[in-house]
Structure 1
Amino acid sequence: MQTMYSSKGWDSYAWAFQAEYEYADILIHNPGVEEDAACGPLIDSVAIRALYPPRPTNKSAIAQVARTVPGTSYTLTFPVGDASNACAGSMLVEAFAGRDTLKVPYSSGGKGGFKRAVLRFVAVSTRTRIMFYSSSFYHLRSDDFSSLCGAGL
């Protein structure tokens, strides 16, 4: 059982699970642990979508296929940085969208931070593979010499 809301309101959540059976029951309810059980979460909408498992690649990669319109220009904006986890040094993230690529270097002090990157591309088909991967500039954390780290999105 997980609590999925806060008192700040307008929260959005995304959950994923691997179903063990062909059918699944999903139950959303107020556990009644507030002072007034009638004051629980309000749900505006629930969206459910089947996602197909991603195919493995030969690179530490994040990939997704997006629907695109051939001949249309797109701008993909994303941050590159570190997680404030004592991972310091020169890092590189490569971004791919269809036939276009962008290499984004990042110099990390290991104390958190990021820079914005922009990849502009023109779609050549109705589906475009978007992929990011952290190149071979991996480091050991300065507070843990057994854990590899690198730039992230």
Structure 2
Amino acid sequence: MSDQSHLESVVEGSNQPDYSAVDLPSKDRREYSYLERRAELLQLIEEAGEPAALNQTQLADDYGVSQQQISKDLDRLAGHIHNRMIDRDRRAFIVESVVRRSIRGLLDEEKYRKAAQTATEYDEWITEFHDIDELHARLDRLETEEELPEGTE
């Protein structure tokens, strides 16, 4: 996959690539583009649980780049993660996916009470999520009203 096709997969509202959507090629790591390297680094971080668990010197050797380059890649990935975290719609999508999978797993294990509890907690979360969206809409309307000159409602 070319760098250009990777650039077509960007985080909405940003010009940053969506590293989690990059397909990793079956070639030597030393031949990876920066997008492929960062995508794999993101996977490694997710598996390890935190960036500090990675050995930057070893990774630099594995990818045939400097340790400073790996550090720069991790900084870029931190920005990518930040963008994912501030996008409420994307977070809601992730939460829903995880909850649905969790409930399916619990049902497969015949843990019906735990599945019901998880569904109930998710329903409460959705209600709160919706309430917050309504609150934001109300605040936006109030701010718009404040900006209008008197008598022009």
Name the TM tier (shorter chain): under 0.3
More helix by share: 2
Structure possessing the higher relative contact order (Cα contacts under 8 Å, 6 or more residues apart): 1
Instruction: State the TM-score, normalized to the length of structure 2.
Output: 0.21
Instruction: State the TM-score, normalized to the length of structure 1.
Output: 0.21
